[in-house]
Structure 1
Amino acid sequence: MAPTPCSRRALLLLLCALLSLLRRSSAGNSRVQTAVNITWSSINFKTLLQWEPEPINYVYTVEIDGNLMNRDKTCIHTTKTECDVTNMMKNVRDTYIARIYSEVPYEEDNYDTPPYGVSLPFIPYDQTEIGIPTIKYFEQRDKTLKIEIADPLIPYRSENGSFQTIRDIFKDDLKYTVYYWKDQSTGKKMSTERSNQFELSVDKGKSYCFYVQATVTSGSGSRNSPKSIEKCTSQEDLNRLDLDTILIIVAIATGVLLLMIILAVVVCKCAKAKAAAKKKEDMPPNL
């Protein structure tokens, strides 16, 4: 039986409707791109997630998943391509992955999982970079150069509310190395300690320069921090120290001299008093 004109018209309308839906679906998919080039950037446990491309007419939502945590979302419906995920990674030994969803925010009735990109795994303890060490204090006195290094702070707080340091996390896995040399000299020495305090033997009266580098040893190997700012002891400081020593010696000598003078005066007075008393005893009674 041949189709009637009405049935042909209905079939044509249905075909047009299907083509229209396909065009809409194709247009919708073309304006949403999946996140690519996803990278972790972490220094002293402050961790950022970065990706591409810049969104146009859509947004991103970041989801963090760890072995020891439930999936949780952050940076919801952001138009940026960077997200600070530090507070979601407080268990620094856990292994995390990130999913970055590309979403059209006004399509609330779309229950399908939006397209997403997945990051490589990230372990903060093994992969965070160590920041530049800071020289807190240094002093050269006689044949000793004392140096104290400030342990870098991290974003996490201890129970008393103060910020923790990388030493609180890495403990014995953290060590410092001081590289030092005589000013205007090319010969360089080094000293490594797990402490942040150094006492180095140096030549008296010579100025020294130095810098510090931190090293962390963990399961993935050793990581070195960038070098600290170079510091130098000055000849003026050394001369001032020598002057202080001289002043101390002069003060002690003056004190000893005054004490000797006082003792001499007291002894002299005592001798005169004894002599006067003896003279009085030797005088005849009628005088």
Structure 2
Amino acid sequence: MTDSTLLFSVFKGNPELPTAVNITWSSINFKTILQWQPKPSGYFYTVEIHGQISDTKKKCILTTETECDVTDALRNVKETYTAHILSVTSSRMDNFEEPPFAASEKFTPYNQTVLGKPEIRNYTQKGSKLNVVFQDPLTPYTFPNGSFQSIRDIFQHDLEYKLYYWKDQSSGKKDVTTKSHTFEISVDSTKNYCFYIQGIIPSRRENRNGQESTVLCTSVGRNILDGRYLLKFVIQSLAF
């Protein structure tokens, strides 16, 4: 995956049950999946999410899976969390003995979630201007009215976007940056251009650059050439 991969194991409690290893956080646009190994046989896993200031939350209780969606346990995205993967039998959950567990590395969603692909909604090349309109990726978190928050709603001024563009069939790439949802750049009106967009968090030390959008290309140059060819064809036809 293209996300933060964090490995760590700590063993506590009764060691008679196997404990999880290779614990990883996988997070894109704040949707966060915890993964680990091995597949259990004769026992279960229960995930505990420990925050610095929030209460401990239990997720995927008595699961035989080796992954767990912990997104809704990380709503305070600037808080730092640690996951405990408990190895349990169904009866052990009811007594006071601490089950063996493995602990993940620390994870801070705001600093470590990967920015997903922006969605390009519209683009036009008219004359010497290329205009591109795009949309922020959405997160799993919602406003009180039920609508989904975008990554811009969470990152606000920490978020910017970069447009990379180049003449079709050329290797010379240029880029421009914006904090809005649109780009307007000057181009050669007779050439086609290809481009893509990428979200960026400049303040980050790691995972600064997000996933790249789909590469799209304009077709204005082809239309001009096609029009000239069509006009030439019509003139030649009339000549006969």
TM range (shorter): 0.7 to 0.9
Cα contact 2:112–2:206 (8 A) shared by 1: no
Partner in structure 2 of residue 127 of structure 1: 112
* Corresponding residue SS for 1:195: coil
Cα contact 1:101–1:114 (8 A) shared by 2: yes
* Corresponding residue SS for 1:185: coil
Cα distance, 1:226 vs structure 2: 2.3
Cα distance, 1:222 vs structure 2: 5.4
Cα distance, 1:100 vs structure 2: 1.0
Cα distance, 1:118 vs structure 2: 0.8
TM-score (norm 2): 0.82
Q: Confirm whether residue 117 of structure 1 aligns to residue 102 of structure 2.
A: yes
Q: Identify which of 142, 145, 155 aligns with 2:127.
A: 142
Partner in structure 2 of residue 191 of structure 1: 176
Larger strand proportion of the pair = 2
Say if 1:134 and 1:237 are closer, same or farther in 2 by CA, change over 3 A.
farther
Q: Identify which of 215, 227, 232 aligns with 2:212.
A: 227
Partner in structure 2 of residue 168 of structure 1: 153
Partner in structure 1 of residue 8 of structure 2: none
Letter in structure 2 aligned against 1:119 = S
Partner in structure 1 of residue 45 of structure 2: 60
Structure 2 counterparts to residues 84-103 of structure 1, below 5 A? 84-103=69-88
* Corresponding residue SS for 1:90: coil
Letter in structure 1 aligned against 2:113 = T
Q: What are the Cα deviations for residues 168-211 of structure 1, in whole angstroms up to 9, with x where unaligned? A: 01111111111111112222211111122000101112211111
Cα contact 1:205–1:238 (8 A) shared by 2: no
The alignment's C-alpha RMSD in Å is 2.2
Letter in structure 2 aligned against 1:142 = G
TM-score (norm 1): 0.70
Q: What are the Cα deviations for residues 31-72 of structure 1, in whole angstroms up to 9, with x where unaligned? A: x20111111110000001111111000001111111121112
Cα contact 1:64–1:88 (8 A) shared by 2: yes
The whole-number CA distance in structure 1 between the counterparts of 2:167 and 2:221 is 15
The whole-number CA distance in structure 1 between the counterparts of 2:101 and 2:15 is 13
Partner in structure 2 of residue 272 of structure 1: none
Say if 1:109 and 1:238 are closer, same or farther in 2 by CA, change over 3 A.
closer
Partner in structure 1 of residue 141 of structure 2: 156
Say if 1:139 and 1:105 are closer, same or farther in 2 by CA, change over 3 A.
same
The whole-number CA distance in structure 2 between the counterparts of 1:193 and 1:99 is 40
Structure 2 counterparts to residues 1-287 of structure 1, below 5 A? 30=16, 32-107=17-92, 110-221=95-206, 223-235=208-220, 239=224
Letter in structure 2 aligned against 1:180 = Y
Larger helix proportion of the pair = 1
Letter in structure 2 aligned against 1:182 = K
The whole-number CA distance in structure 2 between the counterparts of 1:208 and 1:29 is 61
Unaligned runs of 5+ in 2: 1-13, 228-240
* Corresponding residue SS for 1:171: helix
The whole-number CA distance in structure 2 between the counterparts of 1:161 and 1:129 is 23
Cα distance, 1:104 vs structure 2: 1.1
Letter in structure 2 aligned against 1:143 = S
Say if 1:206 and 1:29 are closer, same or farther in 2 by CA, change over 3 A.
closer
Q: Which structure is richer in relative contact order (CA contacts within 8 A, separation 6 or more)?
A: 2
Cα contact 1:141–1:238 (8 A) shared by 2: no
* Corresponding residue SS for 1:80: coil
Unaligned runs of 5+ in 1: 1-27, 243-287
Cα contact 2:15–2:100 (8 A) shared by 1: no
* Corresponding residue SS for 1:170: helix
Say if 1:239 and 1:158 are closer, same or farther in 2 by CA, change over 3 A.
farther
Letter in structure 1 aligned against 2:196 = Y
Letter in structure 2 aligned against 1:168 = D
Which protein shows a greater Rg? 1
